[in-house]
Amino acid sequence: MTQMSMMASPQDFDPDYHWNFVRFTAQGRRFCVPDYLFIEGSDYFAAEYGLKSGSGTPTDIEVVDASTDKVVELDVSIEDFRSFLTVLYPKTPDAIAQISEEGWLSILRLSTKWYFNDLRKMAIDKLEDYVTRMGPIELIGLAKELSFAPWLAYGYKDIVTRPQSVTVEVAREVGWEIAIQLCAMREERRIPIPVPPPTDPDIEFMLSQVFAPINLRQSDFITSAERVEAERLAAEREAAVEEEKRRKEEAVESQKKERRYREAEEAERVKQIQEASGLERRRRELLDQAEALGDQIANHEYRERGRCDSQISIYEPERTPGLYDQSELRAKTNTQQFQRMRPEEATAEEKERRERRAGAESQRMKREILEREEARNCAEAEAKELAEEKRRRDAEEKARKCAEEEAKRLAEEEWRRAAKERESMERERRRRR
């Protein structure tokens, strides 16, 4: 019963303060510490020394018994590993502040060896003043050992700018080819025209064969904060690319719409011109028809007048009154008078009827001409209104494009300015290191 009560179930373990422990040995000295900082600090270390895979958080419930003989052997010195553990597990609040420069140098070497990138960055910041007091040859050797390009550039620049010449010992340490290139840089600074000292990018460019393998390893030493910043910058660049792509697509689509609008407007204008031309041709045709009809009416009246005159002049000769009696003579006279009057009356009535018909036709043609003229005027007014509306839309579109281009230019300038500021800050940070 007592043994069962002493056995704890997984629910009895505290989720925050029940840690797994790992045992290390360095030069025969044994160490036993929680393993989660080693797992969280470096995936390489956890995989290399067979620590528990996973998140490495303190919520794991497995426990390594400190009395077991299973330990992780490390090929490091006791003092170096003690300094490393002081940063991971400080015993007092001021334990980290009491670490010496040699201790930080040991921490930097171990963090570089085991890829604890956050500790590596912390150690580099702590040693910023220390490296400025180092000689260039020692600094170059340390920078190559730790694969840190800013210190390497600082060491080479010190050789180029210092008054002392490049000695045989220096050339032997840095390499004869590198020494010749450094001497060439020193000679360039002696010409009459003042030449500023070389910058870190200049050093890296001139000595690219030295910096190339070191720069290839820089991605292995990215800290968590730098990785987050790099991801943020990559996301910003991707968003900027997508925004630029979207703006280009919108510009292309806007150009297509504008082209279609212009084509439709041009087709409408051509249609209106054709309709106006057709109305003008119809008006002229109607005028020609009216003129021809007037000529026909005039010719017909002239022919009718001539025919009536010829009919009036053809009558039988008058006889001698003595051959007829008085009543017959009076009847004959009445008949002749009737024959003389009837053609003239018929001609006048027909002429009046034709004049009325011609007048009505002329009025109808005039009304049709006026209607056509009014339609043409309306079409011209509508065409002018459409042209004015097009000019207004063109002006608005031009103003909108100008505003978009100005906004795009300002955004690009702001992005370039921010990029330059980040680049200058990065250069300043590297220079300080």
- What residue segments make up the domains of the chain, in order of their start? 13-117, 134-221, 227-315+328-432
> What HEC string does 43-93 produce?
HHHHHHCCCCCCCCCCCCCCCCCCCCCCCEEECCCHHHHHHHHHHHCCCCC
Average pLDDT, stretch 251-260?
84
Give the three-class secondary structure for 30: strand
pLDDT band at 431 (very low <50, low <70, confident <90, very high): low
Res 64: pLDDT: 45
Q: pLDDT over 90 for what percent of the chain?
A: 15
pLDDT single digits (tens) 142-169:
988 988 888 888 888 888 888 787 788 8
State which of 8-12, 71-75, 161-165 shows the largest mean pLDDT: 71-75
Buried/exposed code over 287-325 (b: 16+ C-beta within 10 A; e: otherwise): eeebeeeeeebeeebeeeeeebeeeeeeeeeeeeeeeee
Other beta carbons less than 10 A from residue 217's beta carbon: 13
CATH number of 13-117: 3.30.710.10
Of the two residues 314 and 275, the one the predictor is more confident about is 275
Mean pLDDT of the chain: 77
Average pLDDT, stretch 397-425?
81
pLDDT single digits (tens) 195-250:
566 676 767 666 666 777 777 777 777 788 878 888 888 888 888 888 888 888 88
> CA distances (Å), 117 to each of 6, 111, 122, 233, 329, in order?
42, 7, 9, 20, 154
* Spacing of C-alpha 214 from chain mean position: 36
Checking if the pLDDT of 30 tops 90, the result is: yes
**Biggest distance spanned by C-alpha atoms of the chain:** 187
> What HEC string does 63-74 produce?
CCCCCCCCCEEE
DSSP β-ladder status, 29-34 and 21-26: antiparallel
User: What CA–CA distance (Å, rounded) separates 174 from 206?
Assistant: 14
Give the three-class secondary structure for 99: coil
- Are 215 and 149 in contact, with CB atoms under 8 Å apart? yes
Res 4: pLDDT: 42
User: What CA–CA distance (Å, rounded) separates 345 from 148?
Assistant: 131
Res 430: pLDDT: 66
CA angle 376, 379, 385 (to 5 degrees): 145
- In terms of Cα–Cα distance, which of 105, 101, 110 is closest to 81? 110
Checking if the pLDDT of 80 tops 90, the result is: yes
Which residues lie below 8 Å from residue 99, measured CB to CB, with a gap of 6+?
83, 86, 87, 107, 126
